Amino acid sequence: MSVKVAFIGVGGIAGQHFNSVAKIAGAETVGLCDVDAKRLAQRQAEFGGETFTDPAQMLKATQPDTVYISVPPFAHGAAELACLRFRVPFMVEKPVAIDMKTAKKILSGVKRTGVMAAAAYMNRYRAGIQRVREVLAKDPAGLICGGWVDGFPGKHPWLFQKEKSGGQLLEQTTHIVDLLRYLCGEAESVSCYGADSKFVRGARNFTADCASTAAIKMQNGAIANITSAWLSKAGGMGVYLTLLSRDHKIEISGWNNDVRITHAGGKHIEEIKGEDNIFEIEDAAWIKAVRTGKPTGVLSDYADAVKSLAISLAADESMATGKPVKAKAY
Ligand SMILES: NC(=O)c1ccc[n+]([C@@H]2O[C@H](COP(=O)([O-])OP(=O)(O)OC[C@H]3O[C@@H](n4cnc5c(N)ncnc54)[C@H](O)[C@@H]3O)[C@@H](O)[C@H]2O)c1
């Protein structure tokens, strides 16, 4: 069966999904929607399809079988609601929104209509992450330390403005938050501190937290710490998640989520390299779900992704109030 695919938001990350779709037999790009005419023209030249600036007009005219939504955090809402109105399954880039009001409105539409909706937490599809999940199911982690610690903030137009991106914990470190939930279960409460912005003096249009660290109490009694930073001109500490359980030390590192599992005693070590083509793997699973109407192979659905957003928002509230926040408050 052929699958007609449309895109809302055709910037950086959408490029990965365009490329994946181009490699799937029978899948075809039919529509592109963005507020940036230049980008639309560039993507159309690369991948074809009709261009639009209004999501509803695109859905009406091109009648896609599915839509990829890859807009910045502040721009969620109209795209998803249009997909729900036209009953078109959608895959939305993480984070799914910048606030709970938007996410809940979309989620209630997803539940009401039964339209299939997924979130692009692609690391869940990695063989290494699946292996870690298997290990932790039998031997749960008691201490988890993770982070997304970048260098000094640069010129990205919306990323470093908290009101547009939601800040680094919500925008980038959300991958680590999502893995924490995927591997260790749900959080009970979050306490978070943000560093004073004096440390990034001179960064242009910078309104986010230059560093934050969240202490998370998990429902199963484990504790986690998740650190984020855009701070130093000398560099950062990269992407990492280390989990300690009674019989295992698990190190997940780098953007590709390379996995190293050290078994008790230290002699048996498993190493699983992260896949370079993870977007193709994720997108193949999604297009299969669209084709069959069965979401069995989809590892991150919309409702689940809203729970990852909730942790970041609880951390934000804790940063603002100086108090621990119950995760379920969101
Ligand atoms: N899965 C990943 O690892 C990964 C990697 C990078 C980015 N992302 C996520 O993807 C999202 C987009 O990031 P990006 O790097 O592609 O940003 P980008 O700025 O390169 O592209 C965003 C695009 O959305 C368009 N846009 C903005 N508002 C719109 C609206 N209301 N309707 C239609 N189009 C609109 C912009 O014009 C732009 O072309 C972010 O949430 C980001 O976190 C995910």
DSSP 209-233: -SEEEEEEEETTS-EEEEEEEEEET
pLDDT by position in tens, the chain (length 330):
799 999 999 999 999 999 999 999 999 999 999 999 999 999 999 999 999 999 999 999 999 999 999 999 999 999 999 999 999 999 999 999 999 999 999 999 999 999 999 999 999 999 999 999 999 999 999 999 999 999 999 988 899 999 999 999 999 999 999 999 999 999 999 999 999 999 999 999 999 999 999 999 999 999 999 999 999 999 999 999 999 999 999 999 999 999 999 999 999 999 999 999 999 999 999 999 999 999 999 999 999 999 999 999 999 999 999 999 999 877
Contact 308, 178 (CB under 8 A): yes
Residue of 76, 90, 75, 106 lying closest to 31 (CA atoms): 90
For 281-318, the DSSP string reads HHHHHHHHHHHHT--TT-S-BHHHHHHHHHHHHHHHHH
DSSP category for residue 47: H
Where does residue 256 rank: exposed (0-12), middle (13-18), buried (19+ CB within 10 A)? Answer: middle
Phi-psi region of 230 (alpha: psi -120 to 50; beta: other; left: phi over 0): beta
Provide the terminal-to-terminal Cα distance of the chain, rounded to the nearest Å: 40
Question: What top-level class would CATH report for the domain 3-115?
Answer: alpha beta
Interacting residues of 58 by C-beta distance below 8 A, sequence separation 6+: 6, 8, 31, 32, 33, 50, 52, 64
Say yes or no: CB of residue 75 within 6 Å of ligand 1.
Answer: yes
Which residue's alpha carbon is nearest to atom 27 within ligand 1?
71
Say yes or no: CB of residue 36 within 6 Å of ligand 1.
Answer: yes
Amino acid found at 140:
P
Query: Is it true that 3-115 and 124-275+309-329 share their CATH fold?
Result: no
What CATH number has the domain spanning 124-275+309-329?
Answer: 3.30.360.10
Sign of CA pseudo-dihedral 289, 290, 295, 298: positive
34 Cα to the center of ligand 1, angstroms: 10
136 Cα to the center of ligand 1, angstroms: 33
Contact 309, 96 (CB under 8 A): yes
Domain boundaries, the chain: 3-115, 124-275+309-329
- Other beta carbons less than 10 A from residue 57's beta carbon: 14
